[in-house]
Amino acid sequence: MRTTVENVADADGVTVLALEGELDASNYQDLIAQVRDLVVRGTRRLVLDLRDLSYMASSGLVALHSAALLLRGIEPPDPEAGWGAFHSLGLDVSSGAPDPNVRLVAPQPAVDRVLDRTGLKGFFPVHPDRAAAIASL
C-alpha cells in the first residue's frame, strides 16, 4: 500500500491521506503508525481518500478505528501486543455517533462492501469527493 499526505491549506489541522493499493494484515500497523506521526505533527482531522484502495481486510478496520482514537488523543494499545494489551481495558470512547474527526472519500465497491457489512459506514461518514469531505469537518 502506498500513501500520500496532503495538508489542507485553508483548513487548520485537516490532512488528506490518500491510500493506494491494499490495506490488510501486512500493513495496517504502518497506517496506524503514519496517523500517529501525523497527529504528532498537528493533524486533528483526517480525510482518508480511498479512491485508489482496491481492497481492505478486516485488519484495515482496526487501523481506521485506531486512527479515530489517535485523533481523539487516545493511544490505542498495540493490537498485536501480548498480555499487556489484554489488560489495558476501557480505552474505547466510541459513542455510536459518527466519528467527529475522520471522513472517508469514495471507497471502491470491494472496500465499500466491507465497510457496509461491518457497520463502519455509520461510524466513518463517506463522501463522494475530497471537497465534500473537507467541507463536512
Partner 1 sequence: MSVTLARLLDRGRANALLEAFAPLAPRGWLALVDPDGTPVAATREPPAPPAGGVDVHLPDGVLTGRVVGGEGVPPAVLAALARAVEAVLAEIHDRRMVSLEALERYRELALLYRLAGTIGSAVDPAGIVDELLAEAVRALRSEVALVVPAEEGSVPRAGTGPTDAQERVRASVSARLGAILAGSGGTTVETPDGWSLLVTPISVGERPSAALVLGRPPGSPRFASPDQRLGVALAEHASVALERSRLQAHDAERRRLEQEVSLGRRIQRSLLPQRPPDIAGWSFATHYEAATQVGGDFYDFFRLRDRPTSFGLVIADVTGKGIGAALLMAFARPLFRAIADQYPGPAAALTQANRVLVLERPTPLFITAFMGIVDSATGLLRYASAGHEPPLVVPAGRGRVRRLPGSGPLLGAFPVVSLAEHVVQLHPGDLLLLHTDGAIDARDPLRRRFGDVRLARAAGSARGRDAAELVASVAGAVARFAAGEPAADDLALVAVRRDPVTDDTPV
Residues interacting with partner 1, by CB under 8 A? 24-26, 28, 55, 57-59, 61-62, 65-66, 69, 76-83, 85-92, 94-96, 116-120, 122-123
Residue 4 vs 94, nearer CB to partner 1: 94
CB of 111 to partner 1, least distance (A): 13
CB of 5 to partner 1, least distance (A): 23
Identify which of 82, 80, 43 has the alpha carbon closest to the alpha carbon of residue 63.
80
Burial of 52 (0-12, 13-18, 19+ CB in 10 A): middle
Residue 59 vs 108, nearer CB to partner 1: 59
Residue 5 vs 81, nearer CB to partner 1: 81
CB of 11 to partner 1, least distance (A): 27
CB of 14 to partner 1, least distance (A): 24
Partnered with residue 104 across adjacent β-strands are 48, 126
Distance of alpha carbon 124 from alpha carbon 48, whole angstroms: 10
Residue 13 vs 122, nearer CB to partner 1: 122
